[in-house]
Amino acid sequence: MSAFGSLLRPILFRIDPEVAHGLSIKVLSSGLHPSVRPDRDPRLSRKLFGLDFANPLGIAAGLDKNAEVPDALLRLGFGFVEIGTITPRPQPGNPKPRLFRLVEDHGVINRLGFNNEGHAAARQRLEARRGKRGLVGVNIGANKDATDRIADYVAGIETFADIASYFTVNVSSPNTPGLRDLQAKGALDELLSRVLEARDAQARRVPVLLKIAPDMDEAGLADVAEVALARKIDGVIVSNTTISRPKLVDAATAKETGGLSGRPLFRLSTIQLARFRRLVGPDLPLIGVGGIESAETAFAKIAAGADLVQLYSGFVYGGPGLPASILAGLSRILDRRGIPSIADAVGIETEKWASEAP
């Protein structure tokens, strides 16, 4: 952790987690945080679905819900930033309190419920950065009270098609009732059909990714893989938060409802990632998410089958120096193991992870 992060963390951890999150966004937007952008190692670069990634490390959706600080995050060293989840209309989300730290477990439970300022506000901010360098994906979702949820995803495509680096179709949050039902085979096929039709009608072809939950059984995972391959989507993100509760030190907080992320999610999400890689083969780009907090955990995701990785909860605990630390560590791992590039590490331990019990 950087000296700045070491000073800031005790302050943030004394206050309500959601208030602390808002304060962190203000610090990032103010530019008061130090620049810790690492030197670029060309061995860490990737070219996937038509985009050039300086490195494989991204920030997952949820941190910058309203596109307030994508450039500040890119300056910390992230190879890409995903904003959102954004819904067509602003919505307050679920009642507070709805965000909980499990400090001893390095975990977070949230039941935020897609709280965001809506398409118009996010688009205005992204317009203001038009022409700047850096990959910024847009994670799209549906309003809680939508009568046609698929239409909300289509609206997201239409709103941001000229400005998003890529789209993520989020059907895996556990905090919007019924949303995960869109992962079922028939519903998912209809969703992707309409979303891709909307994408293909635009002047600019933007990659479309799907973000899935870690809690599916083998049959559900196979159904998603079948639809993803048949619809020829550009990539899949594995995974969102889990509704399961592994053994946790903070047993009291663990009783809160919502999605669990951070260190306790690492094993489950990595196993599901490897199993999904085994189902889809080597060519479909996958992004691994869940419990990344170090170079070692990032490399494990890549070895399990991820082309790129994202973190969020790890950033809460690791602070602004974490991206540079992870990237430097990945370079050292390549040196130590004699691997020519990070692309050569993708999937080298898929079978090992896929055979593990969650």
Query: Hey, which residues are catalytic here?
Result: 173
Nearest one of 275, 207, 210, 268 to 237, comparing CA atoms: 210
Q: What are phi and psi of 275, to 5 degrees?
A: -65, -35
Cα gap 310→355, rounded to integer Å: 23
Cα Rg, the chain, nearest whole Å = 19
